[in-house]
Structure 1
Amino acid sequence: MISTFLELGNSTSRNLEFSHRPDVQVSYGEETITESNLLEIRRRHENRITLHTFSKQKEAKVGADWEWHIVGHWRTLKMRVQAKRLYSNNLLRVRHKVGSLGKQQRDLLIQGAQKDGVKPLYCI
């Protein structure tokens, strides 16, 4: 599984860098990156990973894009994940207020994950 994460991380970084070139200028946003990588991870490891993506409405309530459970022999690692991407100036934006609630997305992620017994995580 680690090789999949490394391979997809490398591919995503290369695509993101390429998308920022002045002669390319193709949108490569968080949703595209997230959905493409989740599909590939699930396809490659369908027996070891369960995955549940959240709708926009649910994301605004829980502060996460998806939840996944990585199943091992003796334990299952449960994570609630919010995806973020680096912008062309290497800026990472994690301060994001959820409009309907006026709360910071990261606070919703941490509080909801703790309440539900899962680990909060950012995927960059």
Structure 2
Amino acid sequence: MITGACERYGYSVAQVEVRLYVGKFAGPKRGDHERAIRRWAGDQVAGSGPIKVFGLDSVSTVARELARSKTYRDNAALMTVKVLDAAGMLRDEVTQTASPPGRPSKTTEINAE
């Protein structure tokens, strides 16, 4: 995969970062699986370094922050998040309640490491 990306797009191996995006970790209450996956990924050398792991919480937080930006982005996914947030249909990560229409929700910073 890394060699193919380097050949196809003209990158050196040192310029390639491998990421693992996880929708939901098994056993979220105890966190055993998440810790094991993050530990395993951190021990792997792929491209420029270890595999970086991003969970759904950190991905959704970044997507909501980008969607709140006043800068126009030609991205259907971000526009969908922007519309859902404006309509008050997204849950606040702290209280797990929907935001009032037209008001942004509070977000919490989630450390992916």
- Do the two structures share a fold, i.e. TM-score over 0.5? no
Larger Rg: 2
Counting strand residues as a fraction of each chain, which structure ranks higher? 1
